[in-house]
Structure 1
């Protein structure tokens, strides 16, 4: 009855790198790897090592992998440090806090098609990006044209990135989805509670404990979909790997008493849409939903342990010499 794009079977693998000028109370270099939008590996210049963020990656890679990833990031960190200095010089900047960010990755859609991207930014603005169709680099401003010309001098780095994004990245995406299948492809239905602080307060429909992230929450008035005076909050993660979301309906006490209001929740973990009719103020329900939130924030899901199989390690950019060829240096 109700579908949204967020319920698609698309899988994604993405890496985000952030480098910042020294002197502030944060790491000067951070890399985060995300599978389907959820962090699974992490490195920063303070801890100086790549670490797993999920049990499924920890149980499928050995120490050699983490050592190799650590070495790669340590080398890349120096290149990004130099890139900040280069960008500052081009923009005639001698002080202040400045950042260089890179984002690249690939997506595997449910129809079998794939997409990939590679882009960089400076101080929160676009700087340069790869056009996979033309194998050229698009400069977002005149300062980035120097980098564009440098990276296009031989054309080698664009072809290398195309090979990585359309082949290697997809292969690792499929491996990671396989590793994490029990986690990512499980379907946990939401627990839904309706509550109201008092008779003059908005009515809240709170869903929690669901996975995957895609969920639709909407209201009905006397059996008809209601779109007015409804606020839908952001979907938030629980510490156990599930999610929570709420929809808030603002309605007068008189209208509540004269009409039948229901909250409808659509999720892939439900056999059919869950319809919960509003009932008069119930203090017990308020306490129950607060307890659910606390449990969601405090509990940890214990994943089934898997034997480490040493199936290899992602090497996204290779050695420092290879990185020079891949077009990482401004």
Structure 2
């Protein structure tokens, strides 16, 4: 089981192998009786970068990146907003229906919807994903092999039968995930290519608080987010007493990741330990050999000077969603100018097939 929070911040990692895979993901969150939090929120992301945002307080879909604002027009945002408004009402009704099915009355309840697609720009391989979660558990999952719905919960059986009988709805969703979503993903990659397709090498440091503390290999300032940070012992990958941290956002849009090695000074002085960092799109390996002169420490300082800082819009979203959702856990990642072939990239087109009622 992977946390929903991890999906939000995973910047494509749940659907992206280490390589050149790209992803577009939408997250819908509908909440009931959560104080100081919008009842309905939509977050759209490309390669883990938030590009659009909607909530029930503002009732407007808005760009979160300059390249989205520059490469789209009023028609696009009006269409996106209209789609979100329809989904907002549908999902609000769905929460009431689910309360009845689960014999619930008041209290905090969360309905979540996640969908999107992936594309590997080297192999051309594509994929899709779509699922609903309710109060921290899978409710409905879309099977990309059969293009039908699966119901992990008995309370979802009614919806399962209804949705799987809707042949036009199934066809719409299959076409969206296998065709249209990929078109929009490539389009957004083109819109933001100066940002999304760039490569920035990491700065790698070895950090240690005290001689008995784990040695941290800290890579920061790299882009894109695909990264491997591994420890090697005498030229071989070393996994014993190694703890891997998550990939986190920096304020400037780059990323950071730390991997911690627990080893005694005697052990690393008698063997060759080194940290190897590999970043997607960069052929060069970045290596730091574990020797005393390479270790940065804050021994004697009142406050560490190398504590990673999580910043940026998505990190703020993490804090908000962690507080609100708490235990919510899920399994599972063109031409210049606006292209008017379709005015919305979501799966809630004018046919209404995206905002199916539970």
TM-score by length of 1: 0.84
The verdict on how the C-alpha distance between 1:77 and 1:204 changes in structure 2, with shifts beyond 3 A counting, is same
For the pair 1:274 / 2:286, whether they are aligned, the reply is: yes
Counterparts of 2:112 and 2:236, CA distance in 1: 47
| Structure 1 counterpart of 2:22, from 2, 8, 11 | 11
Counterparts of 2:166 and 2:289, CA distance in 1: 65
The residue number in structure 2 matching 1:314 is 344
Instruction: Confirm or deny: 8 A CA contact 2:113 2:133 kept in the other structure.
Output: yes
| Structure 2 counterpart of 1:217, from 226, 229, 245 | 229
| Structure 2 counterpart of 1:26, from 26, 29, 37 | 37
The verdict on how the C-alpha distance between 1:214 and 1:128 changes in structure 2, with shifts beyond 3 A counting, is same
User: Which SS does the other structure have where 1:56 is aligned?
Assistant: helix
The residue number in structure 2 matching 1:252 is 264
User: Which SS does the other structure have where 1:234 is aligned?
Assistant: coil
Residue correspondence of structure 1 range 17-166 to structure 2 within 5 A? 17-109=28-120, 110-166=122-178
Residues 88-97 or 145-154, more deviating: 145-154
| Structure 2 counterpart of 1:181, from 193, 197, 202 | 193
For the pair 1:241 / 2:272, whether they are aligned, the reply is: no
The residue number in structure 1 matching 2:183 is 171
Tell me the CA shift for residue 19 of structure 1: 0.6
The verdict on how the C-alpha distance between 1:144 and 1:224 changes in structure 2, with shifts beyond 3 A counting, is closer
User: Which SS does the other structure have where 2:131 is aligned?
Assistant: strand
Q: Which has the higher contact order (CA 8 A, sep 6+)?
A: 2
The residue number in structure 2 matching 1:302 is none
The verdict on how the C-alpha distance between 1:64 and 1:226 changes in structure 2, with shifts beyond 3 A counting, is same
The number of residues matched between the two structures is 314
Tell me the CA shift for residue 293 of structure 1: 4.9
Counterparts of 1:196 and 1:211, CA distance in 2: 25
Tell me the CA shift for residue 133 of structure 1: 4.3
Tell me the CA shift for residue 203 of structure 1: 1.9
Instruction: Confirm or deny: 8 A CA contact 1:130 1:158 kept in the other structure.
Output: no
Tell me the CA shift for residue 64 of structure 1: 2.8
The residue number in structure 1 matching 2:356 is 328
Tell me the CA shift for residue 155 of structure 1: 1.6
User: Which SS does the other structure have where 2:133 is aligned?
Assistant: strand
The verdict on how the C-alpha distance between 1:152 and 1:276 changes in structure 2, with shifts beyond 3 A counting, is closer
Gaps of 5+ in 2: 1-12, 313-335
Tell me the CA shift for residue 192 of structure 1: 0.9
Instruction: Confirm or deny: 8 A CA contact 1:127 1:139 kept in the other structure.
Output: yes
Residues 237-246 or 77-86, more deviating: 237-246
The verdict on how the C-alpha distance between 1:180 and 1:292 changes in structure 2, with shifts beyond 3 A counting, is farther
Instruction: Confirm or deny: 8 A CA contact 2:181 2:345 kept in the other structure.
Output: no
Gaps of 5+ in 1: 299-307
Instruction: Confirm or deny: 8 A CA contact 2:90 2:355 kept in the other structure.
Output: no
The verdict on how the C-alpha distance between 1:259 and 1:16 changes in structure 2, with shifts beyond 3 A counting, is same
Residues 110-119 or 236-245, more deviating: 110-119
The verdict on how the C-alpha distance between 1:276 and 1:31 changes in structure 2, with shifts beyond 3 A counting, is same
Counterparts of 1:133 and 1:251, CA distance in 2: 46
